[in-house]
Structures are given as structure tokens and as C-alpha cells.
């Protein structure tokens, strides 16, 4: 395998091509093309075609790697490396023709993340990081914010589809944060919310019931930008988790305490 910086540059090119496909297809996209995977969880031919293109390009780039993909067009068979791919994060945004949405690609081995790339075509922003190399957006180094006070925190979260299990947690978080933080947002893309934490646009993010493809690439961005990422229970090894918190670091204990006040979540 070639060095991680060069590999990341190649993945950025692949992600940009996939993002250009998403943006072009959006011009003629019709709601009739949408299929329902689960309640309020959607997929279209665009997701599937984007994933096929990404898998083909990444296989050529690193033949010895397997895949974990949202739409299941390729599989992981215990290879030494694994691509974790979301061909269209923010599908509901895409369907309704609003930003943001993105392409997300991570490379990991069996223990840790090696590189991550997230490309948002509407603002032409490519976020990327490799292990030990820092985090970047369009060639510029990015860092998490210096905010230390909950009153100054600009927070991004989502209310996941698992309403029966998450309602109490969601209500608790909104109750504890609303009126006590600088602002609360929901942007519809976990990958980009994490990238925005890495870039200091948001100070904290948390979301439950998400897949590896949603957070893997951008979690590395946060870590390499100086932030902190754990599961809801404070475990640093979050790669196999589904309930994730990412912050600028100083705010992390506050958000861990918030989720500890509600019963544990199942997956």
C-alpha cells in the first residue's frame, strides 16, 4: 500500500467524481425514483449507482481491501484493509433538493482508521485526513473550536428513525440543551456534521443508531483536528459502535454526562 497521504489524495479525486455525479443527477431527479428501506429511511438509484462507481474505483486503487457499504454492493471478507463507504449521506436532503449531502469514504484496518474523505458538492468542499497527518478542507488545515463553555456551544444533532427507542433520549437532550447552549441545529448529514465539528463550525455533535459508513471517515477528521470522539458510554474504541459523540474536546465530559442520564440504547 502506498503512503497514506498519497492514497488520501487519490481518494479525494474519487470522491469529487462521485460528488459531481450526485450533483448532475439531482438536476433531473424525480421523487418517483425513491424506495423506502425502513420507516422514513430512503434510497434511490442515485445512491446505488454512486456506490457502484465508488466500489469500482476503490477496488482499482487498493485491490487488497474489502468493503463495508451502506447499500451492500460489496462486502468485507476479513481482508487486512476495509473501505467504509457512504455513497450519498443525506439522502433525505438530496430527495428534497436541499443541502447538505455528501460522499463519505474511510479506510481502516482491523483496529483503527487510516484515512477519511468527505466531499460536499454543493459548496465544493472536500474534507480529508489521514492518520497522523492532520485534517484539511480544500488544502487548508482545519482545527476544532476552542470553546469551553456550554453556554457558548453551537451543537448539531439529529433525531434518528428509531423513534420508539430514542424518543426519551431525544427529549432529554433537547430539554437539557435548549436555552442553555448557543444554538442547536440538525443538518441531515452525520458525516458533514462531524466535518463541521472538525472545522470549528460546530462545537459538539451526537447521534444514535447510525452505521459505520455515516461516521467513520469524518470521525478521523475530528480526531486529527484535535477533537474527541467516543461512543455514548465514553469508550474511545467507537468503530463498532452506533451511538457516537464528537466534540472539540473540552466539551466532551458535559455531553457524556447528558447521555448517561438516560437508559442505555440498544441497536
Which is more confident, 201 or 163?
201
C-alpha span between 139 and 142 (Å, rounded): 9
- pLDDT tens per residue, range 29-44: 777 666 555 444 445 6
Q: What is the band of 49 on the pLDDT scale with cuts at 50, 70, 90?
A: confident
| pLDDT of res. 41 | 45
**Confidence at residue 35, expressed as pLDDT on a 0 to 100 scale:** 59
Bridge partners, 211 (sequence order) = none
Q: What percentage of residues in the chain have a pLDDT greater than 70?
A: 89
Q: Is the pLDDT of residue 146 over 60?
A: yes
Q: How far apart are CA 15 and CA 4, in angstroms?
A: 16
Question: What number is the average pLDDT over the span 96-112?
Answer: 94
pLDDT band, very low/low/confident/very high, at 134 (cuts 50, 70, 90): very high
Show the DSSP H helices in 27-100 as ranges.
45-61, 91-95
Confidence band of 202 (pLDDT split at 50, 70, 90): very high
CA 3 to chain centroid, in Å, comes to 24
| Residue 103 pLDDT > 50 | yes
- Model-level pTM? 0.92
CA distances from 111 to 19, 80, 189 (A): 29, 10, 25
Q: Where would I find the beta strands (DSSP E) of 70-182?
A: 81-89, 102-108, 113-120, 125-130, 134-137, 140-141, 154-157
- List, in order, residues 6 or more apart from 46 with CB less than 8 Å away: 21, 22, 25, 26, 29, 33, 88, 94
Is a pLDDT exceeding 70 seen at residue 17?
A: yes
Q: Which domains does the chain have, with CATH numbers?
A: 4-141 (3.30.540.10), 150-260 (3.40.190.80)
CA dihedral over 46, 4, 232, 202, signed as positive or negative: negative
pLDDT score of 93: 92
- Number of residues that this document lists for the chain: 267
Average pLDDT of span 229-247: 93
Q: What are phi and psi of 26, to 5 degrees?
A: -60, -30
How open is the CA angle 140-146-148, to the nearest 5 degrees? 160
pLDDT band at 25 (very low <50, low <70, confident <90, very high): confident
Question: Could you identify the residue written with the cell 474505483?
Answer: 57
Amino acid at each position: 500500500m502506498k503512503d497514506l497521504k498519497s492514497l488520501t489524495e487519490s481518494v479525494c479525486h474519487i470522491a469529487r467524481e462521485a460528488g459531481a455525479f450526485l450533483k448532475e443527477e439531482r438536476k433531473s431527479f424525480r421523487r418517483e425514483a425513491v424506495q423506502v428501506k425502513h420507516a422514513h429511511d430512503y434510497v434511490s438509484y442515485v445512491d446505488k449507482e454512486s456506490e457502484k462507481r465508488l466500489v469500482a474505483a476503490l477496488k482499482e486503487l487498493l485491490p487488497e481491501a474489502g468493503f463495508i457499504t451502506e447499500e451492500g454492493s460489496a462486502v468485507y471478507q476479513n481482508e487486512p484493509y476495509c473501505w467504509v463507504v457512504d455513497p450519498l449521506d443525506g439522502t433525505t436532503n438530496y430527495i428534497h433538493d436541499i443541502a447538505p449531502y455528501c460522499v463519505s469514504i474511510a479506510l481502516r484496518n482491523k483496529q483503527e482508521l487510516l484515512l477519511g474523505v468527505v466531499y460536499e458538492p454543493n459548496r465544493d468542499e472536500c474534507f480529508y485526513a489521514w492518520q497522523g497527518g492532520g485534517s484539511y478542507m480544500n488544502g487548508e488545515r482545519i482545527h476544532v473550536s476552542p470553546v469551553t463553555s456550554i453556554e457558548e456551544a453551537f451543537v448539531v444533532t439529529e433525531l434518528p428513525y428509531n423513534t420508539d427507542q430514542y424518543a426519551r433520549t431525544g427529549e432529554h437532550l433537547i430539554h437539557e440543551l435548549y436555552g442553555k447552549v448557543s444554538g442547536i441545529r440538525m443538518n441531515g448529514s452525520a458525516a458533514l456534521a462531524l466535518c463541521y465539528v472538525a472545522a470549528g463550525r460546530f462545537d459538539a455533535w451526537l447521534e444514535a443508531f447510525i452505521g459505520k459508513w455515516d461516521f467513520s471517515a469524518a470521525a478521523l477528521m475530528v480526531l486529527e483536528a484535535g477533537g474527541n470522539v467516543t461512543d455514548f458510554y465514553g469508550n474511545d474504541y467507537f468503530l463498532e459502535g452506533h451511538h457516537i459523540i464528537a466534540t472539540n474536546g473540552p466539551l466532551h465530559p458535559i455531553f457524556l454526562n447528558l447521555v448517561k442520564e438516560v437508559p442505555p440504547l440498544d441497536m
